Structure 1
Amino acid sequence: MTDTNETERNRRRVLDGFTEFANGNVDILRTLLREDFIEHSPGNPSGRDAFVGFIAHAPLASARLELKRVIADGPYVVLHYLMALPGDERGTAVVDIWRLEDGLIAEHWDVVQPVPDAAEIPHGMF
């Protein structure tokens, strides 16, 4: 059985961090990630400092992020959102999976998919 207090604490921590990041505060990641943070996305570095440095210079840092849903269960928090880079009319659908340990993010996985033309997805991406 999942501890609802742990679930809510983790949900709130990730959601607050996402909101700060979406408002342009990349440095918020330094307060959210464990020093030994593990990144599972190909091409992205592990380790808090390496990851923050990478993200600070990645297109994601200048993207508009529109959160669509949050799912939390114990140490896991899942965010589903639209990421729209400047000049990208349709954007990209993103699902981030975060695993927290002692109140800090320990691991991250993601799935990223360009949003196709509306005619290809009659029920929408979100």
Structure 2
Amino acid sequence: MTQNTLSADNKQLVLHGLAEFAKGNIEVLRDLLHENFIEHSPGNPSGRDAFIEFIADSPVAAGRLEIKRVITDADFAVVHYHMIPPGDERGLAVVDVWRLVDGRIVEHWDVVQPVPDAAEIPHGMF
């Protein structure tokens, strides 16, 4: 498999998973995450089952996700999106970095930032 093919396959895998998750299908994570999934975000648990339990009760599970861009490079997929939890019109700007091996997500990093008032970001957040 070439790097380009791997990148394209991983992009489709992540996009499909995010689309399903955005529809409320949290169980899609059981297929996407490796059982020994490693989480690098502070306060979030590692391990597939612990992470799914955690994320099911988090604002992201009830939020609206507007994907702005997806960048893939072999084993890595980077997703930049606007997450809008219920009751928070501005929402959060999120960048997720996923490392994939054999069609499963094995590691995750993220950067999350509240979207400020539009006057503070004259060139836009996204």
What TM-score do you get using the length of structure 2 for normalisation?
Answer: 0.97
Amino acid in the other structure paired with 2:110: D
Q: CA deviation at 1:65?
A: 0.6
| CA RMSD between the two structures | 0.8
| Alpha-carbon distance in 2 for matches of 1:56, 1:89 | 21
| Alpha-carbon distance in 1 for matches of 2:90, 2:106 | 31
SS of residue paired to 1:38 = strand
| Alpha-carbon distance in 2 for matches of 1:87, 1:39 | 27
Tell me the residue number matched to 2:92. Answer: 92
Tell me the residue number matched to 1:113. Answer: 113
| Alpha-carbon distance in 1 for matches of 2:15, 2:27 | 15
SS of residue paired to 1:55 = helix
| Alpha-carbon distance in 2 for matches of 1:94, 1:9 | 22
Structure 1, gaps ≥5 residues long: none
Tell me the residue number matched to 2:101. Answer: 101
Tell me the residue number matched to 1:33. Answer: 33
Tell me the residue number matched to 2:11. Answer: 11
| Alpha-carbon distance in 1 for matches of 2:88, 2:124 | 17
| Alpha-carbon distance in 1 for matches of 2:105, 2:119 | 38
| Alpha-carbon distance in 1 for matches of 2:14, 2:65 | 14
Q: CA deviation at 1:59?
A: 1.2
Equivalent pairs counted in the alignment come to 125
| Alpha-carbon distance in 2 for matches of 1:97, 1:9 | 16
| Alpha-carbon distance in 2 for matches of 1:86, 1:18 | 18
SS of residue paired to 1:97 = strand
Q: CA deviation at 1:89?
A: 1.4
What TM-score do you get using the length of structure 1 for normalisation?
Answer: 0.97
Structure 2, gaps ≥5 residues long: none
Amino acid in the other structure paired with 1:51: F
SS of residue paired to 1:109 = strand
